[in-house]
Amino acid sequence: MNAPLLQITDLTTQLGNPKQPSQVVDKINLEIYPGETFALLGESGCGKSMTALSIMRLLPLSGRIIEGCVQFSDVGDLLDLPEKEMRRIRGGQMAMIFQEPQTSLNPVMTVGRQIAEAVELHDVQRKTNSTKRVIELLDAVGIPDPKRRAKEYPHQLSGGMKQRIMIAMALAGKPKLLIADEPTTALDVTIQAQVLQLLKDLQQDTGMAVLLITHDLGVVAETADRLAVMYAGQIVETATSERFFSKPGHPYGRKLLKALPDASKRKQRLAVIPGMVPSLKQKFSNCRFVKRCDVAIAECSSEIPPWVFGSNNQQVRCHIWQSDTNKPLEQSILRNQDSGVLNDSSQDLHESQDFNQDNKDNQVNQGSKTLDQPSNNILLEARDLCVHFPIHKGILQRIIGHVRAVDGLSLNLYPGRTLALVGESGCGKTTAGKAILQLLRPTAGSVRFAGQELTSLSTNKLRPLRSMLQIIFQDPFASMNPRMLVGDIVAEGLIAQGLNNRSTRRAKVLKLLDQVGIASDAIDRYPHEFSGGQRQRICIARALAVEPSLIVCDEPTSALDVSVQAQIINLLKDLQINLDISYLFITHNISVVAYLADEVAVMYLGRIVEQGEVHEILEHPKHPYTKALLSAVPTIDDTGKQRIQLEGDLPSPADPPSGCHFHPRCPEATAACSLKYPDTVILSPTHSVRCEYAKF
Amino acid sequence: MQKTEYNNWLKIIAAKLTKFIRWYIPWMIIGLWLLAAILGMVLSLNPNAIDLTNILVPPGTNALFGYDDLGRPVLDRLLVGAHTSFLVAIGVISVSVFTGAILGGSAGFIGGWVDLLLMRIIDIFLAFPGILLAIALAGIMGPGIDNLVIALSIVGWVGYARLTRVQVLSLREREHVIAAHALGCSQSRILWLHLLPLTLTPLIVEATFGIAHIVIAEASLSFLGLGVQPPQASWGAMIKDGAGYMLVAPHLVIIPGLAMSLVVFAVNLLGDALRDRLDVRLNVIK
């Protein structure tokens, strides 16, 4: 290969108080070549974004670069450049896009003007006539009708469009390197697929290199040529993407891959990484991963591991890893690794001591459960549920229309089973969940819980029934009162149910915390003292306190890292087996659905377009939307996968398209689709779809 | 290396100085105010003793702050006046904050017509110039400290009600409130435990600024003769009495005026500092 475009040597960055700094980036070395996609992979708090900001020299006020050298293209060391010249590099030869396109755009400027600003700054010849270039750029990032769009403001565009605008701005200076910091994390899967494809196409056209920062292993597998795994401020492994996903070297990378939920792991527990990323304030004299590693040997805790070089340019910072030249050793490690998995799951079980069943028990139990046909006693039945929000306008607050957030939703939930409600953001799945719990009163339709109609009950009559239906939210911190002690938070349901004896309440809270794997001293601490995963456990304990038979889980793991997500999913699964709880699992994460759900319902614009058993939906999707949604999910093993690219965005639920809501985006639509909403087509006793053209 | 250390020292000193000015000085002044208020109550002072031999005597060795136009000791009157202004400020603030928080909180939480009605009432109150309304009320009810407190509270609660209502409106959509609903908590429990405690921070900051406002309002009303009645002492009444002798004996106006400015200044500084301190977001950056 030719000379690297970007060569970073020994880059070290510190944050915070100079007397007790956090070494967030610790002697990082990496090279990026022209035209390649290089991914920086790792969990939150591992220093990925700080590395990118150090390269751009855009660190927060409390951050500083201690040492290192960033050789870029023919410019030389970026760290030695005066600020004035650095400004020419930023947005010129090196551009950056961020996770949240909403906050990265100026809301009071038209997007055309914002792009023109970038063009005028970096393209000397265009200073006078930037408009033409703006239109060209908008066209390049695939924005339809660019002339009109250029005159619009950010709030008039959807999230995916805004990210395209950000990319257009980044392209204005014809960059040689584009740094993309979690560019698709805030977007839906179908939009994510569009944006990733766009980046790929642009890269081919312009020959720029991309430094992709992400925690999403699927995205990395689909886009990256080479990657580096970061852990606690250090790179622990670099490899080609292919090599990493077939033979990950560092135990951390292996664990991450094992922690990913998918259909093939249904019968087993997910691997978890116990503990947390160590504090970066300390000086390390050992392997940073040693406390969480289950194949660690004595040297790991006494010596800093050296780089070990393998074939295919794989480098791993680990004592026990041997490159594949030394086969027998590797196999012994692999065996070690296998036993490690067992170790680790028993450790996780130990955390939740109430479930002293071992792995085998779980499997048997679960096996019989999946064999069970859904029993006849329906736990929860929603029929034609509608939630319409009125849109007011004018002085008299006339109602000029309705946002049909949920528009005729019907579903059945059986005891002890998990129904996943899947769809993109804005399709009404969260509203549906709240309407089922009567936290939002539905406009029409019925919800029957264990035979009891809920929609007609008054707020006071509903209160004793509340304990049967619980909810867990996406953001565990926002769902706890920050001024209450954890013990009081968990006890709240008990008080609401009239358990007034202080000591029995305390005993029960301790038991609940134990059940979700939280130490008992948590009772006198505040929520902010806990990590994201622990907070979610506390939220689960609070819901469990009132002994519910149904829990609505509203994206409970999407704010968490992969390894923590695995812990929460394992916990939810254990609880279901032991307490026979039903879950209505609201998510956009298909791999979690594949691992956890028994049945799946796919929502599009307030209605369920397809529902059935999990294998029916995931293996034989019939609705064109389901097919597109499933194909858009980035996966590690993408052999023989055919991607169906959806055009455009989700239409507004205030003004849904005529006929079948999906027809404007549907690749298989015919003229008839725009006339009438399709009837339900029953494919099997469990599988039904709202599309006339669904083939049997 | 030497240079950076020197810079660090400068920075540390600057930071300490800023903290001293913004945090300790206001507390010291407020402490003095409180001390004066207590002394004005505890000590056997003679604020109303007329000594005709000492009329308009300027500050000097035998009387720290001199004597006024009737030969009354200014120091004694100042201490008693501190007591008055302190009582009025605390009284008005506690009544207004409490009423405002409860009414505004309920309006935001219950919503619907309750909210609509309450907001219109608040609008009406806000449409009047506050001090004018207080003057009218004090005029109707007659002068006196207790009526002064009532008049100022009637004007004062609306601001706190609006503040609490807006806070509650945004907080009630928070997930921990929804979770409490889902657990079956009663409405009053949710309001008391999950909503009102979280609105306290802005209320405390607002109330601090409110104290400054009340001290001035009390003085203005007393100056107009609607507050504390002669011969009782209050800072406003002292300024009023002294205004006629401004050129002959400026200390009659300057001393109570200075005391009042210091208190208002300290309270405003403290409000600023409190806002920064109680703001979680700023703390994270630190």
Is the pLDDT confidence value at A126 over 80? Answer: no
Residues A503/A507/A509/A511 CA torsion (nearest 10 deg) = 180
Please give the structure tokens belonging to residue B193: 């435990």
Which of the four pLDDT bands, split at 50, 70 and 90, describes residue A323? low
Q: What is the mean pLDDT of residues A547-565?
A: 88
Which of the four pLDDT bands, split at 50, 70 and 90, describes residue A470? very high
Query: CB distance A493–B193 less than 8 Å?
Result: no
Give which of B110, B170, B176 to mutate to test A binding, by max A Cβ within 10 Å.
B176
Instruction: State residue B102's pLDDT score.
Output: 92
Query: CB distance A539–B179 less than 8 Å?
Result: yes
Which of the four pLDDT bands, split at 50, 70 and 90, describes residue A229? very high
Q: Distance, in angstroms, between B129 CA and closest chain A CA?
A: 27
Query: CB distance B176–A475 less than 8 Å?
Result: no
B71: left (phi over 0), alpha (psi -120 to 50) or beta: left
Query: CB distance B182–A470 less than 8 Å?
Result: yes
| Residue of chain A minimizing CA distance to B188 | A496
Query: CB distance B184–A463 less than 8 Å?
Result: yes
The helix (run of H) or strand (run of E) holding residue A427 is: none
Amino acid occupying residue B39:
L
Residues of A in contact with B186 (CB under 8 A): 463, 496
Name which of A415, A253, A251 is nearest A334 in CA terms. Answer: A251
Name which of A663, A650, A694 is nearest A190 in CA terms. Answer: A650
Instruction: State residue A337's pLDDT score.
Output: 44
Is the pLDDT confidence value at A667 over 90? Answer: no
Q: What is the mean pLDDT of residues A176-193?
A: 86
Name which of B283, B245, B263 is nearest B27 in CA terms. Answer: B263
State the Rg of chain A over Cα: 27
Instruction: State residue B93's pLDDT score.
Output: 94
Task: Transcribe A208-239 into DSSP letters.
Answer: -EEEEEES-HHHHHHH-SEEEEEETTEEEEEE
Task: Transcribe A140-159 into DSSP letters.
Answer: HTT-SSHHHHTTS-GGGS-H
Residues β-bridged to residue A444: A386
Is the pLDDT confidence value at A329 over 50? Answer: no
- Answer for the pair A135, A150: CB distance below 8 angstroms, yes or no: yes
- Answer for the pair B237, B80: CB distance below 8 angstroms, yes or no: no
Chain centroid to CA A217: how far? 10
- Please enumerate residues of B whose Cβ is less than 8 A from a Cβ of A: 8, 174-176, 178-186, 189, 193-194, 197-198, 285
Residues of B in contact with A478 (CB under 8 A): 174-176
Preceding peptide of A678 cis, ω within 30°? no
Is the pLDDT confidence value at A586 over 90? Answer: yes
Burial track A208-232 (b if 16+ CB lie within 10 A, e otherwise): bbbbbbbbbbbbbbbbbbbbbbbbb
Please give the structure tokens belonging to residue A204: 């081919």
Residues B45/B47/B50/B51 CA torsion (nearest 10 deg) = 60
Query: CB distance B178–A471 less than 8 Å?
Result: yes
Give the separation between CA A25 and CA A67, rounded to whole angstroms: 10
Which of the four pLDDT bands, split at 50, 70 and 90, describes residue A639? low
Mind listing the pLDDT tens digit for each residue in B52-80?
Answer: 887 888 887 777 788 888 888 888 888 88
Q: Given the DSSP bridges, would you call strands A550-554 and A582-587 parallel, antiparallel or unpaired?
A: parallel
Give the separation between CA B63 and CA B108, rounded to whole angstroms: 55
Q: What is the mean pLDDT of residues A346-357?
A: 39
Q: What is the mean pLDDT of residues B111-135?
A: 88
Is the pLDDT confidence value at A124 over 90? Answer: no
Amino acid occupying residue B65:
F
B229 versus A472: the higher-pLDDT residue is A472
Choose the closest CB to B184 out of A62, A466, A473. Answer: A466
What's phi and psi for A409, nearest 5 deg? Answer: -110, 130
Name which of B196, B190, B173 is nearest B100 in CA terms. Answer: B196
Is the pLDDT confidence value at A443 over 50? Answer: yes
- Answer for the pair A112, A91: CB distance below 8 angstroms, yes or no: no
Instruction: State residue A597's pLDDT score.
Output: 92
Name which of A333, A351, A414 is nearest A381 in CA terms. Answer: A414
Burial track A639-674 (b if 16+ CB lie within 10 A, e otherwise): eeeeebebeebbbebeebeebbbbbebbeebeeebe
Please give the structure tokens belonging to residue A424: 């993109």
Please give the structure tokens belonging to residue A541: 């304990």
Indicate whether this model's pTM tops 0.95: no
Instruction: State residue A350's pLDDT score.
Output: 40
What's phi and psi for B205, nearest 5 deg? Answer: -60, -45
Q: Give the other-Cβ count within 10 Å of A26's Cβ.
A: 20
Instruction: State residue B10's pLDDT score.
Output: 80
Give the separation between CA B189 and CA B195, rounded to whole angstroms: 9
Q: Coil, strand or helix: which one is A174?
A: coil
Residue A467 forms contact with B (CB below 8 Å): yes
Contacts of B72 (CB under 8 A, 6+ apart): B46, B47, B48, B49, B50, B51
Mind listing the pLDDT tens digit for each residue in A483-542?
Answer: 889 999 999 989 888 888 889 999 999 999 998 988 888 898 888 888 888 899 999 999
Between the two ends of chain A, the Cα-to-Cα distance in Å is 52
Is the pLDDT confidence value at A683 over 70? Answer: yes
Give the separation between CA B169 and CA A482, rounded to whole angstroms: 18
Residue A392 forms contact with B (CB below 8 Å): no
Contacts of A14 (CB under 8 A, 6+ apart): A21, A22, A23, A24, A63, A64, A66
Which of the four pLDDT bands, split at 50, 70 and 90, describes residue A32? very high
A394: left (phi over 0), alpha (psi -120 to 50) or beta: left
Please give the structure tokens belonging to residue A150: 């250029």
Residues of A in contact with B191 (CB under 8 A): none
Which of the four pLDDT bands, split at 50, 70 and 90, describes residue A391? confident
- Answer for the pair A107, A153: CB distance below 8 angstroms, yes or no: yes
Q: At what angle do helices B74-110 and B25-42 cross, to 10 degrees?
A: 110
Q: Coil, strand or helix: which one is A470?
A: strand
Query: CB distance A483–B181 less than 8 Å?
Result: no
Residues of B in contact with A480 (CB under 8 A): 176, 179
Mind listing the pLDDT tens digit for each residue in A590-628?
Answer: 888 999 999 999 999 889 999 999 999 988 898 999 988
Amino acid occupying residue A510:
L
Is the pLDDT confidence value at A358 over 70? Answer: no
Is the pLDDT confidence value at A381 over 70? Answer: yes
Q: Give the other-Cβ count within 10 Å of B116's Cβ.
A: 11
The helix (run of H) or strand (run of E) holding residue B57 is: none
Is the pLDDT confidence value at A236 over 60? Answer: yes
Residue A547 forms contact with B (CB below 8 Å): no
Q: Distance, in angstroms, between B91 CA and closest chain A CA?
A: 28
Residues of B in contact with A469 (CB under 8 A): 182
Which of the four pLDDT bands, split at 50, 70 and 90, describes residue A363? very low
Is the pLDDT confidence value at A213 over 60? Answer: yes
Give the separation between CA A550 and CA A66, rounded to whole angstroms: 53
Instruction: State residue A572's pLDDT score.
Output: 93
Is the pLDDT confidence value at B201 over 50? Answer: yes
Place of tokens 């300790």: B24
Residues β-bridged to residue A227: A39, A239
Q: Given the DSSP bridges, would you call strands A177-181 and A22-32 parallel, antiparallel or unpaired?
A: unpaired
Is the pLDDT confidence value at B1 over 60? Answer: no
Contacts of A83 (CB under 8 A, 6+ apart): A57
Residues of B in contact with A493 (CB under 8 A): 183-184
Looking at every residue in chain B, the average pLDDT score rounds to 85
| Residue of chain B minimizing CA distance to A60 | B285
- Answer for the pair B55, B69: CB distance below 8 angstroms, yes or no: yes
Is the pLDDT confidence value at A695 over 80? Answer: no
Q: Which of A356-365, A504-513, A533-542, B231-240 has the lowest mean pLDDT?
A: A356-365
Instruction: State residue B280's pLDDT score.
Output: 52
What sign does the CA torsion over A673, A676, A680, A683 have?
A: negative
Instruction: State residue B226's pLDDT score.
Output: 83
Q: Give the other-Cβ count within 10 Å of B167's Cβ.
A: 22
The helix (run of H) or strand (run of E) holding residue B256 is: helix B251-278
Mind listing the pLDDT tens digit for each residue in A272-322?
Answer: 887 778 888 888 888 888 888 888 888 888 888 888 888 778 888 888 877
| Residue of chain A minimizing CA distance to B197 | A483
Q: Distance, in angstroms, between B203 CA and closest chain A CA?
A: 16
Q: What does each C-alpha distance from A121 to A36, A190, A200 come to in angstroms? A: 26, 33, 26
Q: Give the other-Cβ count within 10 Å of A519's Cβ.
A: 11
Query: CB distance A439–B181 less than 8 Å?
Result: yes
Instruction: State residue A548's pLDDT score.
Output: 92
Name which of B70, B73, B83, B75 is nearest B33 in CA terms. Answer: B83
Which of the four pLDDT bands, split at 50, 70 and 90, describes residue A446? very high
Looking at every residue in chain A, the average pLDDT score rounds to 83
Q: What is the mean pLDDT of residues A402-418?
A: 90
Query: CB distance A481–B198 less than 8 Å?
Result: yes
Per-residue DSSP letter, B56: T
Which of the four pLDDT bands, split at 50, 70 and 90, describes residue B222? confident
What's phi and psi for A7, nearest 5 deg? Answer: -130, 115
Name which of A627, A593, A642 is nearest A695 in CA terms. Answer: A627
Instruction: State residue A641's pLDDT score.
Output: 66
Residue A449 forms contact with B (CB below 8 Å): no
Give which of A66, A460, A481, A528 to mutate to test B binding, by max B Cβ within 10 Å.
A481
Is the pLDDT confidence value at A194 over 60? Answer: yes
Preceding peptide of A82 cis, ω within 30°? no
Place of tokens 């301190």: B277
Q: Which of A118-132, A335-349, A634-648, B265-279 has the lowest mean pLDDT?
A: A335-349
Residues of B in contact with A484 (CB under 8 A): 193
Is the pLDDT confidence value at A475 over 60? Answer: yes
The helix (run of H) or strand (run of E) holding residue A487 is: helix A486-496
Give the strands of the sheet with A380-393, arranged side by side: A398-413, A380-393, A444-449, A452-453
Residues of B in contact with A482 (CB under 8 A): 198
Give the separation between CA A526 and CA A522, rounded to whole angstroms: 8
Q: Distance, in angstroms, between B106 CA and closest chain A CA?
A: 17
Contacts of B245 (CB under 8 A, 6+ apart): B56, B69, B252
- Answer for the pair A2, A74: CB distance below 8 angstroms, yes or no: no
Highest mean pLDDT among A358-367, B37-46, B82-91: B82-91
ipTM associated with this complex? 0.75
Q: What is the mean pLDDT of residues B275-284?
A: 61
Choose the closest CB to B184 out of A62, A467, A475. Answer: A467
Which of the four pLDDT bands, split at 50, 70 and 90, describes residue B6? low
